[in-house]
Structures are given as structure tokens and as C-alpha cells.
């Protein structure tokens, strides 16, 4: 079920399975990929708007399914997150998608698609989208992204290092994404499975007490205990989003309070997700977390 690595001349189809975006926000990603030798195809309903959704559930699901079924498409890149993937999960044939041999790339709300496909054994790519790269990033962000498309998981030396909270070494398949979507999945047919896995988490614009609530949910459900280790990215803008009626606490302290007592290898500030600059991170393949060295090393290839 591994995706094929991309080569110059391959076609990447842009789809919008969640919230909408304007056409000009596709321009930089289109230029980046065409200069790297790829062809671009835009899904039929990719530029539609329906409030906070990019068109109807049926059209968004049809675009995504058709992109994976399309013999001329070699990889599927989501244009943005926002909200909406949960609504189309029942409309998709995930078995067919998982057997397509095509790479899925995206993050944020795309977490729901990562979970569904990772649960079936298909690796996916938590990486920047057209909306993400509409804003300038450091060169190592582009290098990490383009490398992953080729199946090269080398992490650029210029990427900042994480910080150790609990030392130790753990191995397991990577799983995770945006924290609020991970907790939303609990109780659904596409639920987060952490058993013996490295849980890789980030989020954006959540208040401190909500970060506490979501990590507490992982603890209370046993999902945190079943994980092999934790790789925590940035809780972007959380420290600025304090409900004055409740009060706040730095998000790093919250994570230490909730996860450190489990005694499992734990690092924070791993550079991925909604942070200003982010690594492209595969989910669903075996990796080693060395929390003392603050490294996440992949033990198997992403692509066939």
C-alpha cells in the first residue's frame, strides 16, 4: 500500500476536500512544482465555495475519489485544511484509495484522511499545501517537501532542533496530526490508533485550557498510555489565545504536566505543522525516536 515516489513528468492533482481558497493562493505551489518538473492538474470542484466548505460534501468527496482513481494522476495534494474532511469520510472508498499507489499530501483538517488511510496500512505525507506556501518560508521547508515527494526523508540540517522532556528511545510507526482532529476521531470508524506507535502532534489557535482538555482526553481514554513515545510540534498561537475568564498557562507546561508522568520518550518543539516553518513528515511508517538526541529517524522507506 506504499505510494510511488514522484519523478519529473509525473502529475500532481490539487484537490480541496475541506475549506475553500482563492485561485491566487495556488500560484506559488504551482510554480514550485512545475519548476521541479511536475505537471499540475486541478480537480473539477477545487475552487468552489459554500460558506466554510469548498463546495458540497458530494462534490468534494467525488473530487478526492476521482483523483485517486485517475490513471493520469500520480499524487494528490490538498489545497488547504480548515474544516470539512470529517463530513466526507462516509462517502469515500478508502480501500480503493489505499490500494491506488498514490501519495496523499496535506495537514491540518487533512488529519482525518491521514488517520483513515494509516489505519488501513497506507503511509501518507503530513506536508505543506498551496495555502501554506502562499506565504514565504525558509529554504529548508521547500527542500524537505520536495525531497519527500521523491521519497527522500532526509531532514535538512538547517531545521531547528526539538527539546527533550523525557529521555529515552522508542520505535514504532508514526501517527498523528492536528490535535483537535485526533480527539474528534475518537469513537468513529476512523479513530486514532496509538498502540505501540509514535504519536506526532501539533495544533493551532487553541486556548490553553482546550489544549489541556485534549491531552487529558488522550490520557483518560488510554490512548496516551498505549503510545510508544511522543513527538510534539508547536501549539501555534496558543499562548496568545487565553480566555481571560478562565486564565491560562504556557502550552509547554501543559504538555509536560499531562504526558511526562507516563515516562515515555517525549520531545517538544519538533518543527512541523502550523509553525511558521515546517518539516514534511510521513505518517504510517516505522521510525525511531531518540528523545535524548531529539531526533526522529525513519527506519523504512516511504515509497515503493
Residues marked active site are found at: 108, 202, 274
Q: What is the pairing mode between strands 124-126 and 103-106?
A: parallel
d(CA 206, CA 255): 14
- 272: helix, coil or strand? coil
How wide is the angle at C-alpha 29 spanned by C-alphas 23 and 35, nearest 5°?
125
Which helix or strand (DSSP H or E) is residue 173 part of?
A: strand 169-178
What separation in angstroms does the CA of 89 have from each of 19, 55, 201?
15, 15, 21
Nearest of 234, 122, 232 to residue 176 by alpha carbon: 232
CA distance 235 to 257: 15
Among candidate residues 224, 220, 182, 179, the one with its CA nearest the CA of residue 203: 179
* Continuous segment of H or E residues that includes residue 58: helix 57-69
Amino acid at each position: 500500500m506504499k505510494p510511488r515516489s514522484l519523478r519529473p513528468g509525473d502529475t500532481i492533482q490539487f484537490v480541496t476536500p475541506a475549506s475553500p481558497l482563492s485561485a491566487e493562493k495556488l500560484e506559488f505551489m504551482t510554480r514550485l512544482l512545475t519548476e521541479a518538473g511536475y505537471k499540475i492538474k486541478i480537480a473539477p470542484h477545487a475552487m468552489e465555495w459554500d460558506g466554510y466548505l469548498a463546495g458540497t460534501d458530494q462534490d468534494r468527496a467525488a473530487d478526492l475519489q476521482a483523483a485517486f482513481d485517475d490513471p493520469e494522476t500520480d499524487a494528490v495534494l490538498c489545497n488547504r485544511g480548515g474544516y470539512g474532511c470529517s463530513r466526507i469520510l462516509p462517502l469515500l472508498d478508502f480501500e480503493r484509495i489505499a490500494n491506488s499507489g498514490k501519495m496523499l499530501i496535506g495537514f491540518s483538517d487533512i488529519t482525518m484522511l491521514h488517520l483513515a488511510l494509516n489505519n488501513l496500512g497506507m503511509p501518507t505525507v503530513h506536508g505543506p499545501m498551496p495555502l501554506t506556501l502562499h506565504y514565504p518560508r525558509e529554504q529548508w521547508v521547500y527542500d524537505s517537501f520536495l525531497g519527500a515527494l521523491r521519497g527522500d526523508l532526509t531532514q535538512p540540517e538547517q531545521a531547528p532542533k526539538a527539546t527533550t522532556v523525557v529521555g529515552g528511545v522508542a520505535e514504532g510507526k508514526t501517527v498523528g496530526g492536528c490535535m483537535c482532529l485526533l480527539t474528534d476521531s475518537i469513537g468513529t470508524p476512523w479513530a486514532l490508533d496509538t498502540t505501540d506507535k509514535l504519536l506526532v502532534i501539533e495544533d493551532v489557535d487553541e486556548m490553553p485550557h482546550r489544549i489541556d482538555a485534549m491531552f487529558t482526553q488522550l490520557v483518560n481514554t488510554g490512548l496516551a498510555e498505549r503510545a510508544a513515545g511522543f513527538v510534539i510540534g508547536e501549539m501555534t498561537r496558543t499562548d496568545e489565545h487565553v480566555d481571560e475568564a478562565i486564565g491560562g498557562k504556557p502550552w509547554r507546561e501543559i504538555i509536560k504536566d499531562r504526558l511526562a508522568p507516563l515516562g515515555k520518550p517525549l520531545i517538544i518543539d519538533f518543527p512541523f505543522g502550523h509553525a511558521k516553518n515546517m518539516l514534511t513528515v510521513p505518517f504510517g511508517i516505522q521510525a525511531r525516536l531518540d528523545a535524548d538526541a531529539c531526533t526522529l529517524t525513519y527506519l523504512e522507506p516511504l515509497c515503493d
